A and B are shown apart, each in its own frame.
Chain A
Amino acid sequence: MLTLKDIHVSYGQAPALHGVSLEVPEGHIVTLLGANGSGKSTTIHAVAGLLPIQSGSIDFEGREIAGLSTEAIVRLGICATLEGRQLFGEMTVLENLRLGAYTQGEGKGFDEQLERVLTYFPALSERLELSSYLLSGGEQQMLAIGRALMARPRLLLMDEPSLGLAPLLAQEMFAGIMSLSKAEGISVLLAEQAADLAVGISGYGYVLEVGKVVLGDTARNLLDNEEVRSAYLGH
């Protein structure tokens, strides 16, 4: 569904990605592992069209999307949630969700989709009129994901969704992501430092080191890999 081939990205003079290639198969959850600064976030940003790409290709369902604007990429069915959640803090939960559906228009489909999204995050349905900065950290993350879902994506990019969440909440959230991906048939590319939980729900994983993929394997093999376990999975 998504194939990155030899992606190069740099921030000014400093190269951030040199030759990242990876694949997200349809309906699968794929996790990017790696230390801080290894290029996980940069990869997510590059796919979302938030960063210019020096060279390489990004193929989404047979279409080259490298160089497209974020707006165009969203319209093709790729949505991202970023670190820091990037909500419209002064706006209500409902307004955030409405904005999530910006590319979809607000016809009959809107109410339907809203109802669907709220079944995944029932806590939000009681807080629709609340300013989103008043939500707890966990609820904010739910809103960020819910807002992305409002655009009916087929591929969800997630940058550090568990950041700032208590372990139990993080666990709940990953379980939520898994059931959502299954039920809606949404593929997920996940960058995560709390990697054991993330790999636990994934089919595949890639390990990044200083802007390069050094290992790509099934989640099961990664969990069994002694080196990976000690370096990234914390046990």
Chain B
Amino acid sequence: MDLFLQQLIGGIASGSMFAILALGIVLIYRSTGTLNFAQGQMAMFSMFVAWSAMSTGMGFWPAVLLTLLSALAMGALVEWLIVRRVEGTSDLNSLIVAMGLFLIFDGLALYIWGPLPKSFGPFSFFSGGASCVGGVCIGRLNLGILVVSIVTTVLLYLLFQCTRFGLALRATALNRLASRLVGIPVGRMLSTGWGLGTAVGAIAGILAAQSLGLDIRTMFFVVLFALAAAVLGGLDSPVGAVVGGLIIGVVKNLAGTYTPSSVGSIDLAVAFAVIVLVLMVRPNGIFGRPVRMRV
């Protein structure tokens, strides 16, 4: 039982990291309908920005703040400079744009920071002894990831549900023409959606680097799980992204624990099998809503 709980908590922690990155993917998808699988490489780029800031002697938190602001600007700029040009043409074009973004950020990072892994954390916030209740313990790293994930999710929730700005962001995602009619500056909202999504991705990146280290490929498999989490939850649902991320984290961890180690990375196979099963029953994802209309 303790083993089960232990693995459950570990799964929730790693799942919350997928959830945060998935949240960023959903924010961008809701903004311009782009399935941004460059999300991972953009997060990786932000991680390097943080690393650079800190190697000039900046403290952890100021560097994080600087990174988030630069990610916000970077995402907004990408929407304004690139995504907007192909909007409303075809889904295939937005796919190509996402591929292009992947290559751009991958190449830029390689050019600026080189191929060698950098040492990046775990920082003091994420290191220290484990906290135990009964026989179940949670390491400081997992606890840190969990806390940051929860705070990020709650802040985003408050932004979207309790502010006028958040209301306008949601409105733009739902109906652009109606948003123009009520006087919302739609273009600015779309840029903001990309900016927020990219900043949230940067948070996921910094969390990932604590356990996975920092190099060009750090986010490769994280973004795979995050994309899966977003699809599982329903691509247009922020709640779905969080739930999807947690499910994948937990299933992956439990599958890894209870299957013989001789079969190798069966945890991935089990996690994706669960996704396929869920999507067979709910093709729009757990929280994804089919288009509803009343004539």
Is B a genuine binding partner of A? yes
Chain A residues packing against B (C-beta within 8 Å): 48, 50, 69-71, 74-75, 79-82, 86-91, 95, 98-100, 102-103, 105-106, 133-135, 137, 140, 147-148, 151, 164
B164, B180, B184, B294: the one contacting A133 at CB < 8 Å is B294
A86, A99, A147: the one contacting B167 at CB < 8 Å is A99
User: What chain A residues lie within 8 Å of B294 (beta carbons)?
Assistant: 89, 133-135, 137, 140
Within B176-193, the residues touching A (CB, 8 Å) are 177-185
- The answer to whether A50 touches B184 (Cβ under 8 A) is no
User: In the assembled complex, how far is the CB of residue A98 from the closest CB belonging to chain B, in whole angstroms?
Assistant: 6
Nearest CB in chain A to that of B183: its residue: A74
- The answer to whether A79 touches B292 (Cβ under 8 A) is no
Nearest CB in chain B to that of A90: its residue: B174
User: What chain B residues lie within 8 Å of A79 (beta carbons)?
Assistant: 181-182
B293 CB-CB contact with A under 8 Å: yes
- The answer to whether A99 touches B184 (Cβ under 8 A) is yes
- The answer to whether A99 touches B180 (Cβ under 8 A) is no
Q: How far is the CA of A25 from the CA of B213 in the complex (A)?
A: 69
- A102 with B170: in contact, given A86-B175, A90-B289 (CB under 8 Å)? no
Total interface residues in chain B, CB < 8 Å: 21
B66 CB-CB contact with A under 8 Å: no
Sampled A-B contacts (9; CB under 8 Å): A48-B181, A79-B181, A86-B181, A90-B174, A90-B292, A98-B167, A99-B171, A133-B294, A151-B182
Within B136-181, the residues touching A (CB, 8 Å) are 164, 167-168, 170-171, 174-175, 177-181
- The answer to whether B181 touches A74 (Cβ under 8 A) is yes
- A75 with B183: in contact, given A86-B177, A88-B178 (CB under 8 Å)? yes
User: What chain B residues lie within 8 Å of A70 (beta carbons)?
Assistant: 180-181, 183
User: What chain B residues lie within 8 Å of A91 (beta carbons)?
Assistant: 170-171, 174
User: In the assembled complex, how far is the CB of residue B222 from the closest CB belonging to chain A, in whole angstroms?
Assistant: 30
User: In the assembled complex, how far is the CB of residue A198 from the closest CB belonging to chain B, in whole angstroms?
Assistant: 21
- A86 with B184: in contact, given A102-B168, A164-B295 (CB under 8 Å)? no
Q: How far is the CA of A135 from the CA of B293 in the complex (A)?
A: 11
Q: How far is the CA of A69 from the CA of B188 in the complex (A)?
A: 13
- The answer to whether B175 touches A88 (Cβ under 8 A) is yes
User: What chain A residues lie within 8 Å of B177 (beta carbons)?
Assistant: 50, 82, 86
User: What chain B residues lie within 8 Å of A151 (beta carbons)?
Assistant: 182-183
The 9 closest A-B pairs by CB, nearest first: A74-B183, A103-B183, A86-B178, A70-B180, A71-B183, A99-B182, A102-B182, A88-B174, A71-B185
User: What chain A residues lie within 8 Å of B295 (beta carbons)?
Assistant: 164
Q: How far is the CA of A85 from the CA of B179 in the complex (A)?
A: 12
- The answer to whether A88 touches B185 (Cβ under 8 A) is no
- A100 with B182: in contact, given A91-B171, A91-B174 (CB under 8 Å)? yes
User: In the assembled complex, how far is the CB of residue A46 from the closest CB belonging to chain B, in whole angstroms?
Assistant: 14
User: What chain B residues lie within 8 Å of A137 (beta carbons)?
Assistant: 294
B164, B170, B182: the one contacting A74 at CB < 8 Å is B182
- The answer to whether B182 touches A87 (Cβ under 8 A) is no
Residue from A48, A70, A99, A100 with most neighbouring chain B CB atoms (10 Å): A99
Q: How far is the CA of A147 from the CA of B184 in the complex (A)?
A: 13
- The answer to whether B182 touches A147 (Cβ under 8 A) is yes
Residue from B167, B177, B180, B181 with most neighbouring chain A CB atoms (10 Å): B181
- The answer to whether B292 touches A102 (Cβ under 8 A) is no
Q: How far is the CA of A50 from the CA of B186 in the complex (A)?
A: 12
User: In the assembled complex, how far is the CB of residue A103 from the closest CB belonging to chain B, in whole angstroms?
Assistant: 4
Q: How far is the CA of A192 from the CA of B177 in the complex (A)?
A: 20
Q: A74-B182, A90-B289, A99-B171 are in contact. List 16 more A-B contacts (CB 8 A).
A: A48-B181, A50-B177, A50-B180, A71-B180, A79-B182, A81-B181, A86-B178, A88-B171, A89-B292, A89-B293, A90-B174, A91-B174, A102-B184, A134-B294, A135-B294, A147-B182
Q: How far is the CA of A69 from the CA of B187 in the complex (A)?
A: 11
- The answer to whether B183 touches A87 (Cβ under 8 A) is no
Q: How far is the CA of A153 from the CA of B148 in the complex (A)?
A: 45
